Structure 1
Amino acid sequence: MGWNTWNSFACSMNESVILEAAERIVSLGFKDLGYDYVVLDDCWSAGRNATGYLVPDAQKFPKGIADVADKIHSMGLKIGIYSSAGTMTCARYTGSLGYEEKDAAAWASWGIDYLKYDNCYNQGEEGTPKLSFDRYNAMGKALNATGRPILYSMCNWGVDGPWNFATTIANSWRTSGDLINVWDRPDVNCPCSELDGIDCKLPGYHCSIMNVVDKAAYYPSKAYSGAWNDLDMLEVGNGGLTDDEAISHFSLWAALKSPLLMTNVMTQIDSATLSILQNTAVLAVSQDPEASSAVRIWRYFVNGGEIQMYSGPLSGGDQVVVLLNSSPMPRDMNATLTDIFWDDGAEGTASQLQSAWEVYDLWAGRMNNGTAEGIIRGGNNASRPIDMAKLGGASKVYSQVPLPATKALMGKKVGTVKARGTVKAHVKPHGVAMLRLREVKTKDEL
């Protein structure tokens, strides 16, 4: 979890942009919720010096990146940097292919905690999983050789099926091309149309939210704690999405256990954006120690779009359920307990079907705009629905098994489903119902 410069600043990023964003991440309470990486994307370097080591752009970073890293660390945050497994980065700055050991050593000496490693100008070293593995493994080995813990985020856009090999060398891997802040729009640069016979597992770029989701739905089992499918950075707060679309985007990324990297302008954040990104009930699903991605159980094409249902286990025996309505019409949707626990046994045999379940709506307790605006105006002095710092920080709270059934962490209880029953919800256009199920332990709870 954290923030990245690219979507809002691209090559206009510099020391001031990064430090201002970091200060807002702290003052607005994002750090206490677990957003702790501040990532410098492309365009930070000025090439190599006479000894072959990368140097930062002196105009953007007059005191160097090590100085910025020290300031980021002093705020209790971590710092990330960017390069490409090619001769140039995607913005045509100096790449790291053939210089893996020198670049990793330089970043470690600066205090870097995270590397986003792209795929541009790769000299044709792709086309088979082995070629891609060898190229990215070289940097993985170099990072490990520094002795500094550096989170390794592969960004090869799903080329050569990284979910089949990246688990052994990286902490995350991109599953598709670059996401844009569009809900669902066909684009020849990001092929995905199963109705027309186009393979949705092909890589691409300029991908809509539904395109990326439909690609990622094929390999949820490849990810586990410490190794995640990366659906790309969040577009929440960047315009282009309705409020319901932004909620759906955030919910799906959380349920599918994609890294959550904000990219909005932190100094201009609005109340609606803050209330989505700080939904602790959804963050509790994202950061759940079970670390299992929700799985798409069913998908039906309807007039103007499609409906889908995702389900996945959470710590303590809880279950997350996402009912997705990607069509332009509101819909009453439902999922039987047989659907929800399909992965736990053949139809009708899962042991969970014998139990009753409390149902919590994870968006029913969304922070209201007045509270969110108060946080934006008041910073550290604002009153918040939950003070994560007093609870020991997000990592401690989210690791409680089970989570306390508080509104801030569990949403709002909206009912109970009896054994072999059905969960129902009214879902807005391009919207989701995101639910958490908790087993009823005694008859009195019914």
Structure 2
Amino acid sequence: MNETIILDAARRIVDLGFKDLGYEYIVMDDCWSAGRNSSGYLVHDKKKFPNGIAHVANKIHELGLKVGIYSSAGSMTCARYEGSLGYEQKDADVWASWGIDYLKYDNCYNEGQEGTPKLSYDRYNAMSKALNSTGRPIVYSMCNWGVDGPWNFATTISNSWRTSGDLINVWNQDDPNCPCSEKEGLDCKSPGYHCSIMNVLNMAAFMPSKAYAGAWNDLDLLHDESISHFSLWVAVKSPLMMSNIMTQIDPQTLSILQNPAVIAINQDPASAPAIRRWRKYLDDEIDEYGKKGEIQLYSGSLSGGDQVILLLNAGTKTREMTASLAEIFWDEGVKGTAAQASSSWFIYDLWANRMSNATASAIVHGGGKNVTAPSSGYFNVTAHGGAEKVYSEVPSSSSKHLIGSKIGSVGPRGTVKAMVRPHGVAMYRLREQKRDEL
């Protein structure tokens, strides 16, 4: 963690085209500070940041990106640097003076100021007020690990809140360090860390109604090389935070994180999280962790009348999965009767036009600059190495790369079907045929 690493990552995000796709915040985590000065203000570590944090922020802003910083609502951060508890206004003021655009605010060493929603609210609201008083727009990302149910109080004081303990890149394995099981649901008091993808997802499935535009459930960082993980976080509208080392990114990860049709679901202006419509256990399957397999259906409304569907196979075998319009459009009327009686819908596969390995390799290994990549049927690769800037407008029928590939249709009272591999997903956009122009 130092100036060189942060600026290299920022330049790489621009060169590889992530900026063109809407990724814009470079967020520094713990270990940047060197304590407080005699006036009580935080100071940076001069060995790690010889030119200062403001210099780093300026360089990142020059790239057209924004910069984030880290602290904790405690006496110390998780790595035992100075925390912000009791110093909220001083810290907010100095961050604003440096040009900070985003704050990740952790929960370590909180002096016991948790255990009830009111205690947690007061502690995190102190920083909310301090940030607002600076007059600088700063995204406020609460990271209190789901303690005291932040989805019930954070919506009015922050832009996002972590719903669970720290995520680990494991599909469904229990870990003693993540004692917060889904059985505890929204009453979880001890979220811990090393939480699996399915553990985090199944807890978050209970709270989609808590999020809205400007205030989101945060399911933690994205990991490398996982279409299922990326799709699920996209569907429930979790902020897309990349945790991979940008200077070492591989082609497969690039092609996943740069799928415009999937990103468009996450960034849809309606900002409505997809809701889990059903969850079914597979009595004949036991996975490698000794758990029953399961399948799930998520669906949600999109701006302009479209609908997103995600079929999740958390089992051990490839299987055909089905979802009726009644299930998909459950919120449209009593048991979906309004949807059943509606006109037919075209189905668009959101992963059908995923960037080819050849294109991704050309971008990665060419450094993202002056790349002449082979045609992939994906989106135009520019000399800049990125994608066409298609995210400045609401997805429309003319933005084919945001919609996916048309693969079929479903009529009134019909059923959507898909073959889904183990630990895999099928992700579709539905568009009513009478308004489809593609």
Q: TM-score range by the shorter chain?
A: over 0.9
The yes-or-no answer on 1:425 pairing with 2:418 is yes
The yes-or-no answer on 1:441 pairing with 2:429 is no
Q: 1:171 to 1:199 in 2, by over 3 A?
A: closer
Shifted more, 379-388 versus 169-178: the winner is 379-388
Give the letter aligned to residue 19 of structure 2: K
Residue 324 of structure 1, aligned match among 312, 322, 327: 312
Question: Does structure 2 retain, via aligned residues, the 8 Å contact 1:201–1:215?
Answer: no
Question: 1:389-404 counterparts in 2 under 5 A?
Answer: 393-397=389-393, 399-400=394-395, 402-404=396-398
The yes-or-no answer on 1:374 pairing with 2:354 is no
Tell me, what secondary structure is at the counterpart of 2:337? Answer: coil
Question: Match of 1:267?
Answer: 247
Tell me by how many angstroms 1:351 deviates: 4.2
Question: Match of 1:187?
Answer: 175
Q: 1:388 to 1:100 in 2, by over 3 A?
A: farther
Give the letter aligned to residue 15 of structure 2: S
Question: Does structure 2 retain, via aligned residues, the 8 Å contact 1:119–1:155?
Answer: yes
Tell me, what secondary structure is at the counterpart of 2:74? Answer: coil
Give the letter aligned to residue 226 of structure 1: G
Q: Separation in 2 of the partners of 1:225 and 1:171?
A: 9
Question: Match of 1:365?
Answer: 353
Q: Separation in 2 of the partners of 1:387 and 1:32?
A: 12
Cα distance per residue 1:396-422 (max 9 Å; x no partner): 13x24x35351x222211100011100
The yes-or-no answer on 1:333 pairing with 2:321 is yes
Tell me by how many angstroms 1:328 deviates: 1.6
Question: Does structure 2 retain, via aligned residues, the 8 Å contact 1:338–1:353?
Answer: no
Tell me by how many angstroms 1:346 deviates: 1.2
Q: Separation in 2 of the partners of 1:168 and 1:92?
A: 29
Tell me by how many angstroms 1:189 deviates: 2.6
The yes-or-no answer on 1:280 pairing with 2:273 is no
Q: Separation in 1 of the partners of 2:169 and 2:88?
A: 33
Tell me by how many angstroms 1:205 deviates: 1.8
Tell me by how many angstroms 1:329 deviates: 1.0
Question: Match of 1:409?
Answer: 402
Tell me by how many angstroms 1:381 deviates: 2.2
Question: Does structure 1 retain, via aligned residues, the 8 Å contact 2:69–2:100?
Answer: yes
Residue 166 of structure 2, aligned match among 167, 170, 178: 178
Question: Does structure 2 retain, via aligned residues, the 8 Å contact 1:192–1:201?
Answer: no
Tell me by how many angstroms 1:190 deviates: 2.0
Tell me by how many angstroms 1:345 deviates: 1.4
Residue 153 of structure 2, aligned match among 165, 172, 179: 165
Number of residues of Structure 1 aligned to a counterpart in Structure 2: 420
Q: Separation in 2 of the partners of 1:198 and 1:166?
A: 20
Cα distance per residue 1:54-108 (max 9 Å; x no partner): 0011110001000000000000000000000000001111000000000000000
Tell me by how many angstroms 1:387 deviates: 5.0
Q: 1:275 to 1:204 in 2, by over 3 A?
A: same
Question: 1:38-437 counterparts in 2 under 5 A?
Answer: 38-191=26-179, 198-199=184-185, 202=188, 203-236=191-224, 243=225, 246-302=226-282, 303-304=285-286, 305-351=293-339, 353-378=341-366, 379-383=368-372, 385-386=378-379, 393-397=389-393, 399-400=394-395, 402-404=396-398, 406=400, 408-437=401-430
Tell me, what secondary structure is at the counterpart of 2:392? Answer: helix
Tell me, what secondary structure is at the counterpart of 1:173? Answer: strand
Tell me by how many angstroms 1:380 deviates: 3.3
Tell me by how many angstroms 1:350 deviates: 2.2
Q: Separation in 2 of the partners of 1:270 and 1:301?
A: 35
Cα distance per residue 1:13-67 (max 9 Å; x no partner): 1111101110100000000000000000001000000100000111100010000
Q: Separation in 1 of the partners of 2:39 and 2:340?
A: 62
Question: Does structure 1 retain, via aligned residues, the 8 Å contact 2:34–2:43?
Answer: yes
Tell me, what secondary structure is at the counterpart of 2:70? Answer: strand
Question: Match of 2:290?
Answer: none
Give the letter aligned to residue 417 of structure 1: V
Q: Separation in 2 of the partners of 1:192 and 1:438?
A: 39
Give the letter aligned to residue 28 of structure 2: L
Tell me by how many angstroms 1:445 deviates: 8.5
Structure 1 residues not aligned, in runs of 5+: 1-12, 237-242
| Identity percentage of aligned residues | 67
Give the letter aligned to residue 330 of structure 1: T
Aligned alpha-carbon RMSD (Å)? 2.0
Cα distance per residue 1:174-201 (max 9 Å; x no partner): 000000111110123323556xx55475
Give the letter aligned to residue 299 of structure 1: R
Q: Separation in 1 of the partners of 2:37 and 2:300?
A: 50
Q: 1:417 to 1:31 in 2, by over 3 A?
A: same
Tell me by how many angstroms 1:382 deviates: 2.5
Q: Separation in 2 of the partners of 1:364 and 1:308?
A: 21
Q: Separation in 2 of the partners of 1:234 and 1:264?
A: 8
Tell me, what secondary structure is at the counterpart of 1:133? Answer: helix
Tell me by how many angstroms 1:386 deviates: 2.7
Give the letter aligned to residue 396 of structure 1: S
